[in-house]
Structures are given as C-alpha cells and as structure tokens.
Amino acid sequence: MTEELSIVAENKCFGGWHKRYTHRSTALNCAMTFAVFLPPDAAEGAPVPAVYWLSGLTCTEENFMQKAGAMRVAADLGLALVAPDTSPRGDDVPDDPAGGWDFGKGAGFYVDATEAPWSRHYRMHDYVVNELPALVERHFPVTGGRAISGHSMGGHGALVCALRNPGRYVSVSAFAPIANPSAVPWGEKALGHLLGADRARWREWDASALLAEAREHLPTLIDQGDRDTFLETQLRPEVLKHAAEAAGYPVTLRMQPGYDHSYYFIATFIEDHLRHHAKALGAAG
C-alpha cells in the first residue's frame, strides 16, 4: 500500500483478511475510515468482484463486519466486502445542531449536500459512488464488478446510489430501507438540513420517486421485518413496492414475519443477499 492508505487493523478470517484503513477523503474534506474483507482468492492476489455495504444511523464501518456474519459467505462465494463509515467525522465537521442521533455525524444519509455548512463535508454519495471504489480498485485485487447493499439509512443509500448511477452496479439489495425519505421524519430532518427547504429537490434522493425515471433495471432484493418498530413511521416499503410495480421495476420485497430492525435480522438473511449479488456478478456459488 502507498501512504494514501493507513492500516488500522487486520484480522485473518475464513481464510481471507478483514482490514480497516484510514485515508484523507477529497469528497468529504476529512479523514475517513473504511473496512474491507478480502476472500481467500483475493488474499492470494486473484481479482474478485466487490459488494459495497452501507450501514444505518449511528453505525460505523465496524457494525456490519462484526455482526452480520457476512464474511463466511463472502469467502465461499469469492466476494470482497467494502464497508465505509456512515458520515464524515472530525472536529471541523458540523453535527446536528439539536444534538440528536438521527442526523449529523453517524447519519450522513448518503446524499450530496448543497446547503451551508453541510456542503463542505456531507457528500457521502460522491464518496460512496466515486471516490471509495476508485481507491479500492487501485489498491486491492478487485475487479470492476460492483454490487451494493445496505440497512435502514444505508438501504436508502444503496437504492439511491444504484438508481442515480446507471452502469455503476450490477445488482442492489437492502434490509429495512428508508424507502420514501422525503415523506418520513428521519428523511425530512436530514434532507431539510442538507438540501434546503425545496421538497422537489428531496425527490432526487428518494428511491420511491427515482424508480419512475430509472434508465436501468437492476435485480433488487429487499427484506423487511414485520416487527420492525420503524416500519410504519420511517421506512414505508409499501410506497417503494407500488412505485416499482407502476414502473415495471424488478423489486422483490420480502416481508419477514417476526423480525425486527436489528443485526439479528440482517445476519439471518445476509446469505440470501450475498448470493443474489454473486449471481449478478458472475461469482462462484
């Protein structure tokens, strides 16, 4: 590695390697941390495709790698996993002026802010779609084959990244995504700060609105627990389902009885999602 990346930690796992790095982000104008899992083939230098994972509110790059149980499956399928942090960090980065947990550091919402003071740092969409993949593909044995997935706020991010960037990914999936952010409290708060008061601009970052204009139809898998306490007030998957049906977009939405919003839910179905992506990426398994 060059000095562009500084390693924080590395752990051998299922014959591959889990590693965490820091680097200076141009898009976010701050230092950022991300995690990568390299399956055995990649650890030996053979290029493999990558699945990008976007985590939810209050999370970091560590939550998914530690809790999802994804590395065993990724090792078997020959997939690299890449998990960025959920927002810019640092003393110079503005935070929620109300001191809340649902916006600001740890809650960047994967959009490119246009309003001061947020626009100086909160450009997570550009970071996830452009800067981070370029960095990963420059420094690690991964191909240009990319898929994207995420949870909650990160599920919203995954869907929007795929919908706004035709040709960038071959498949998308989400766990309990904020499916209609322009019409729920979490999204209204974040988008109001980051994009301003004009709600028409919010729709440019709302998967349920973007589906109608999608120029590319990717295989899309969504899992949602029916005991998720945020289901009715914050997530609204039924809006996304109806938008997909109207647009003829291939979304598979599975309501999972008894499951909540936690990583227990994610760990239960992560293998399905990784196999969904492996098929689209032409990976093993």
Residue 251 tokens, joined: 């979304």
Residue 85 lies in a domain: yes
Model pTM? 0.97
**CB proximity list for 57: less than 8 A, separation 6 or greater:** 86, 101, 102, 106, 107, 152, 153, 186
Percent over 70 (pLDDT), the chain: 98
What CATH number did the domain enclosing 91 receive? 3.40.50.1820
Query: Distance between the two ends of the chain, CA-based, in angstroms?
Result: 30
CA pair distance 125, 204, nearest whole angstrom: 12
DSSP state of 54: E
Residue 126 lies in a domain: yes
CA pair distance 31, 192, nearest whole angstrom: 25
Extended strands (E) in the chain: 6-13, 16-25, 30-38, 48-54, 80-84, 142-150, 172-175, 220-225, 251-256
Residue 1 lies in a domain: no
Our count of domains for the chain comes to 1
| 46-98 per-position pLDDT tens digit | 999 999 999 999 999 999 999 999 999 999 999 999 999 999 999 999 999 99
CA distances from 112 to 63, 102, 202 (A): 23, 17, 11
Residue 91 lies in a domain: yes
| 237-257 per-position pLDDT tens digit | 999 999 999 999 999 999 999
Residue 21 lies in a domain: yes
Confidence of residue 8 (pLDDT cuts 50, 70, 90): very high
| 140-176 per-position pLDDT tens digit | 999 999 999 999 999 999 999 999 999 999 999 999 9
Which residues form the catalytic set? 152, 228, 261
Residue 65 lies in a domain: yes
CA pair distance 191, 178, nearest whole angstrom: 13
Q: Look up the domain containing 216 and give its range.
A: 6-281
